[in-house]
Amino acid sequence: MTAQVEEIRLNLPHIELAAHLYGPEDGQRVIALHGWLDNANSFARLAPLLPGLRIVALDFAGHGLSAHRAPGASYLLWDYVADVLQVAEQLGWERFSLLGHSMGAIVSVLLAGAMPERVERLALIDGLMPYTGEAEQAPAKLGEALRAQLALRNKRKPVYADIDRAVEARMRNTGAVSREAAELLAERGLMPVPGGYTWRTDNRLTLPSPLRLTRAHAQAFVHAVQCPTRLVLAEQGILAVEPGFSGLLEGMPVEVHRLPGKHHLHLDDEAGARAVADCFNPFFTLP
């Protein structure tokens, strides 16, 4: 984590995003995408271990130091896909690779499947396809989302008396992380408020999805990917307990590497970050 990192702002036509910039100007172009409710510091351990790459680690909209979407706008997966494409356009990157963790890995696959001519390779960490739902579940799913939207006006973020309490809460939340990982995410994710600290993340990020892709839709995106794809699966991660996930990988154009660790294995400790880097460094040097 001693490598030089630059804080940048990206003024897209519809929103301003924040990002960390790593690596040499002439390095291989990579956009790094974090998971749900995380931020660009998700790559604070890993990015310095990937020499020769020009990494733009984004804060997704509504996360970290990036702006929140306008009132009435949504945080659907395809909205993030459009954001990433706009980032590449602003950077002048016609071709680029994607390094994605969890939700960031899902967004990476959707973009690579939809626009294979733009993406050179995919490096994925414990994420591949979105949660799916079948047609008969759609009315109930939309109803759930609409009710949650109505209730959002009365929902308040928790306020923590000090940073340490916020860190401890993040350690226990969805996608539990080590204390060091929680501290890194808190550096970029917390803001002072009356009474203590709260997370910068937009409350709308916790709303349920109004519509999910079917399993067939999700698989179609994976099969539409044309670039080399390497997936690191955490042995104690969220995909390891997903029913039928191993069978789902059969026949997919994805090279899978299993490593010890939890969902945030690339951030929890230096050993995990090094193991993931050792997996991805040869991958990024392939012809």
Q: How far apart are CA 208 and CA 212, in angstroms?
A: 10
Catalytic annotation, pick one of 42, 102, 178, 246:
102
CA torsion, ordered 242, 122, 22, 235, to nearest 10 deg: 30
37-40: list long-range contacts, CB under 8 Å, 24+ apart. Answer: 37/63, 37/173, 37/174, 37/175, 37/199, 37/201, 37/205, 38/63, 38/101, 38/102, 38/175, 38/185, 38/189, 39/63, 39/64, 39/65, 39/185, 39/188, 39/189, 40/64, 40/65, 40/188
| 74 noted as active-site residue | no
User: Annotated catalytic sites, by residue?
Assistant: 102
